[in-house]
Amino acid sequence: MRVCVIGTGYVGLVTGACLAHIGHDVICVDNNEEKVKMMKSGQSPIFEPGLSDIMQSAINTGKIQFTTDTGAGVSHGDILFIAVGTPPLPNGESDTRYVEAVARSIGAHLDGGYKVIVNKSTVPIGSGDWVRMIVLDGIAERQKVLVPAGGVPSEETLPEIAGKFDVVSNPEFLREGSAVYDTFNPDRIVLGGNNPKAIAMMRELYAPIIERKYSVDQSLPPVPILATDLSSAEMIKYAANAFLATKISFINEVANICDRVGADVTQVAKGIGLDTRIGNKFLNAGIGWGGSCFPKDVSALIHTADDYGYEAQLLKAAVSVNERQRLIAVEKLQQVLKILKGKTVGLLGLTFKPDTDDMRDAPALNLIEHLNRLGAKVKAYDPIVSQTGMRHGLSGVQVETDAERLADGCDALVLVTEWQQFSNLDYTKMAKLMLHPVIIDGRNFLNPETMVRAGFQYVGVGR
């Protein structure tokens, strides 16, 4: 099928590359000329395991193209994905101006045969009908159709466009660091729409993935498809992320109680995770959740509830617990080192999770800010940030090129991101390089006995 993906961030680029990999003809559109030039040369502008390889393969087979020309993309695609960012506004509401601009541009270029316009961006509930309205606005502006004062364009005022396009909500459930894997091995595919024709086209688009042709385990039954209305599909995305964020906040609250009563949260999590009603995923206590999805989506759902006269108390509590949890590492440093002014603290990891270069709303940023405020010198080492030279606008931190340089002269280390590489460092050597060999394991990732044998005073979360 012919596909256009507008927006080449984590979601858009992975979606476009993976659809090209399974045989579709894809054009990816982005308004950043330098980024498009980079992608044309086969370089991925983001770090995502496996993405560069499938991008290069698709370029070699001619299945994927990159352009800044929205008109060319819209003309090419039978299915048009909107995959631009919806960052949070200060009040927690989603900023949908980029979605609006794309929808209007689609309308300005829409002609020819039937198109399915797919909301892949995480958008507020009700955005499907809103996107349809904006597309019609774009068509009306292009055709200079006069709309009565206070009215909106519709199929009645634009009869020639009636039945020429439909809007579908197709929320993504990709985890940064394993987005390519998640695309080919999804738990489910959610399709929200009102026209069976549009849903049928989406099923055809995803048929190779539904049939597990690219799954790690091809013997599994077909991927479940949930076809629903637009609003329910949009709500599913928010509800899923809000539940996972709340689950993490729950185990972090349990960890804080474990710290006080002498229990081990890792054993508690294992015990409750064996209950099939609970499950063992997202029960890793630590210094809280971050990234581009959980904070934004939970805040947006709270804001939506407020708009409709409901106070989402549980979700607000999950956010409150997470905000406090980010300072747990600072509290533990104060318990061990007492006064932090004049001390040097090294952070192992900067990104909000391993296997990504994304630092949006990363707990490390809060740690740097608070440690600086308390008068500490902050150093950091991250396998991606350090090696690529990307600093993401970092300030108040000295980024080192390896873990041993990080440890040299430090009073304490804090493990912030559970990169797999950090399980194999020479901690014995690192301990000898430090002024005070203390490590705060902010993810309960390291083995306490191993760290003690290496010469460290080990402090976990809820252990």
Active site residues: 293
Q: How is residue 218 written in tokens?
A: 């091809």
The DSSP H or E segment spanning 438 is strand 438-441
126: left (phi over 0), alpha (psi -120 to 50) or beta: left
Dmax of the chain from CA atoms?
A: 78
CA angle 368, 360, 82 (to 5 degrees): 175
Query: Nearest CA to 174 among 365, 366, 22, 16?
Result: 16
Say how far apart CA 130 and CA 151 lie, in whole Å.
Answer: 14
CB distance 444 to 284 below 8 Å: yes
Q: Do β-strands 165-169 and 115-119 pair in parallel, antiparallel, or remain unpaired?
A: parallel
d(CA 4, CA 25): 8
Alpha helices in 206-293 (DSSP H): 207-210, 230-261, 265-273
Strand-pair category, 412-415 with 438-441:
parallel
